[in-house]
Amino acid sequence: MAGEKAKREILSSTDRKDDCIEIWDLDMDSYDSVKKFAARATTSLGRLDGLLANAGMMATEFRKSEDNEKTITVNVVSTFLLCLLLLPKLHKSAEKFQINPRIVIVNSGLHYMAPTKELDPNNGEIFARLNNPETADMSGRYPVSKLLVLYGVRELAQKLTRRKPLVIVNTPNPSFCVSGLVGHELSFGERVFEKLLARSTEMGARALVHGLCSGPESHGEYLTNCHVQK
For residue 58, is pLDDT > 60?
yes
For residue 46, is pLDDT > 60?
yes
- The one-character DSSP state at 140 is G
Residue 132 to residues 123, 138, 187: CA-CA distances in angstroms? 13, 11, 30
CA nearest to 135, candidates 127, 58, 143: 127
The average pLDDT across 105-133 equals 91
The C-alpha atoms of residue 151 and residue 102 are separated, in whole angstroms, by 18
Q: Is position 146 annotated as part of the catalytic site?
A: yes
Other beta carbons less than 10 A from residue 138's beta carbon: 15
pLDDT at 141: 96
Question: Domain boundaries in the chain?
Answer: 49-228
For residue 187, is pLDDT > 80?
no
For residue 183, is pLDDT > 80?
no
For residue 191, is pLDDT > 90?
no
- Quote the percentage of the chain above a pLDDT of 90: 71
The C-alpha atoms of residue 42 and residue 137 are separated, in whole angstroms, by 38
pTM listed for this prediction: 0.89
The mean predicted confidence, pLDDT, of the chain is 90
**Topology (CATH) of 49-228:** Rossmann fold (3.40.50)
Could you say which of 92, 112, 117, 146 is catalytic?
146
pLDDT at 124: 83
Could you say which of 35, 64, 142, 151 is catalytic?
142
Q: Is position 159 annotated as part of the catalytic site?
A: no
- Across 141-178, b (16+ Cβ under 10 Å) vs e yields bbbbbbbbbbebbeebbeebeeeeebbbbbbbbbebbe
- The one-character DSSP state at 163 is S
The average pLDDT across 7-34 equals 92
The average pLDDT across 40-69 equals 95
DSSP state letters, 10-64: HHHHHT--GGG-------TT-HHHHHHHHHHHHHH-S---EEEE------SS--E
Question: pLDDT of 155-174, one tens digit each?
Answer: 999 999 999 999 999 999 98
pLDDT at 197: 64
Residue 36: is it exposed, middle or buried by C-beta count within 10 angstroms (0-12/13-18/19+)?
Answer: middle
The average pLDDT across 73-99 equals 98
